[in-house]
Amino acid sequence: MSATHGATRIPAAASSATVRHMRRWEGVAVLVATLACWSSVPLFVRHLAEYIDHWTNNGWRYGASALFWLPAVLWALGRGALPRSIWRAALVPAVANTLAQVAFTAAHSYVNPALLTFGLRLQLVAVALGAYLLFPSERETIRSARYLCGLGLLVAGIAGVLLGGGNLGEGSNALGIALAIAAGMGYGVYGLAVRRFMYGFHPVYAFGVIALYTGSALVVAMLAFGRGHGAEVLELGSRELWYLGLSAFLGIAIGHVLYYTAIDRMGVAVTAGVLQLQPFVVGSMAAVLLGETLSAGQWVGGVVAVAGAALVLSAQKAAERRRARATALEEAEAAGESSAR
């Protein structure tokens, strides 16, 4: 789960009539709900790290979420709306998602959740490197001064977060920092894989198939590596069981429905931009609910990192506008030539 890993364009054919006719304030409400859902997950996972290991946490949360998405996939299969090719196309994104999810959940045992969510902004670095290699049309944007300046600020800011508390940073250690970096880069690879392999598929079905693959893999990992092969969860109290269920429902199940709806109604740039607020929401709530805080230097680094992310996103948006204008001009010229004949 990440604030930007799925920021891919939804084909117009996949947009539902309900979403297309949604009022703007309703779209804003959906976006705020997405931010709230995804900001709550690090807090739940951090709390649960005191009770269950990360293999068990992932297995139960993603296993439950896979069951949540199963009816949608079966319904699509029954209607003949699920292309056979989607199962092969989803393999690479599912592997990237699984590895990133393992690193993300494991990191909560070692680092402050705010530090972790700031570290996840590194996915934009992975996206930049991957997009430069995989999508030649984006190389001009990535080489632009605004984009490179944004990346520089992002990396410098995250370095400030990771190291700003002295030594390796408050609330962290070397393993935790490595896991946070791995999770951020992993989610970046996941976003690239979704864009490369899943474009053209309905986003709900695409994520449903990815969730089935990811959930299955994490359940197998829980049975192999989890304490008590996952049975440790049976010893949890009612409050922790509620937290486990809520983290699965809010972060993986309904959270992604809200996320894709927000992208469809508000656009990729606006959605990704608002979700950059996630580390600040998580940091504030972690201080209040968990008593875990970052140093002043780390907060400054976080502000710099998010400012860099905003620059990167604005460079992407500016490039999209230029491409749209160029396309419109070409279409107008073609129409003019056709009418002149």
Supply 90's token pair.
């989803």
* Residue 331 pLDDT grade (very low, low, confident, very high; cuts 50, 70, 90): low
Say if residue 50's pLDDT is above 90. Answer: yes
Q: Is the pLDDT of residue 65 over 90?
A: no
CB 30 within 8 A of CB 216: no
Domain-embedded: residue 148? yes
Report the chain's terminal Cα–Cα distance, integer Å: 54
**Average model confidence (pLDDT) for the chain?**
85
Query: Which of 74-88, 117-131, 193-207 has maximum average pLDDT?
Result: 74-88
**In this structure, is residue 5 part of a structural domain?**
no
* 134/265 Cα distance (integer angstroms): 28
Choice between 162 and 62, residue whose per-residue pLDDT is larger: 62
Question: Could you tell me the sign of the dihedral formed by the alpha carbons of 321, 322, 324, 329, in that order?
Answer: positive
- Please tell me the distance from the alpha carbon of residue 151 to that of residue 125, in angstroms, as a whole number: 7
On whether residue 6 sits in a domain, the answer given is: no
Q: Answer yes or no: is 287 within a domain.
A: yes
**Contact indicator for 115, 122 with CB cutoff of 8 Å:** no
Residues 28-47 have a mean pLDDT of 92
> Mutual orientation of helices 278-285 and 24-48 as an angle, nearest 10°?
50
Report the number of distinct structural domains present in the chain.
1
Residues 6 or more apart whose CB falls under 8 angstroms from that of 104 comprise: 1, 2, 116, 120, 179, 183, 186, 187
Q: 248-263 burial, b if ≥16 CB within 10 A, otherwise e?
A: bbbbbbbbbbbbbbbb
Q: Return the pLDDT at 340.
A: 58
3-state secondary structure of 200: coil
Question: Which pLDDT value is given to residue 14?
Answer: 42
Q: What is the per-residue pLDDT for 228? A: 94
Return the sign of the alpha-carbon dihedral for residues 319, 320, 321, 325. positive
For the record, the structure tokens of 324 come out as 């749209």
The model's pLDDT over 118-134, given as tens digits with 9 standing for 90+, comes to 988 888 888 888 888 88
Q: Phi and psi at residue 51, in whole multiples of 5°? A: -120, -35
Residue 13: which pLDDT band, with cuts at 50, 70 and 90? very low
- Taking residues 25-50, what's their average pLDDT? 91
Question: What confidence tens digit (pLDDT) does each residue in 260-298 have?
Answer: 788 777 776 677 778 888 999 999 999 999 998 888 888
In terms of average pLDDT, the best of 2-11, 277-286, 318-327 is 277-286
For the cut 70, the answer to whether the pLDDT of residue 2 exceeds it is no
Rounded Cα–Cα distance for residues 198 and 190 (Å): 11
pLDDT for 174 equals: 81
2 domain-assigned: no
Q: Does a structural domain hold residue 212? A: yes
| Residue ranges making up the domain that contains 213 | 12-340
The pTM of this model reads 0.83
Amino acid at 38: W
> What is the structure's pLDDT at 24?
74
Contact 255, 37 (CB under 8 A): yes
**Angle (nearest 5°) at CA 101 between 95 and 103:** 110
In a domain, 67, yes or no: yes
pLDDT at 134: 85
Task: Give me the pLDDT at residue 269, please.
Answer: 67
> In this model, does residue 113 exceed pLDDT 50?
yes
Return the ∠ at Cα 171 (arms to 60 and 306), rounded to 5°: 85
Which of residues 228 and 124 earns the better pLDDT score? Answer: 228
4, part of any domain? no
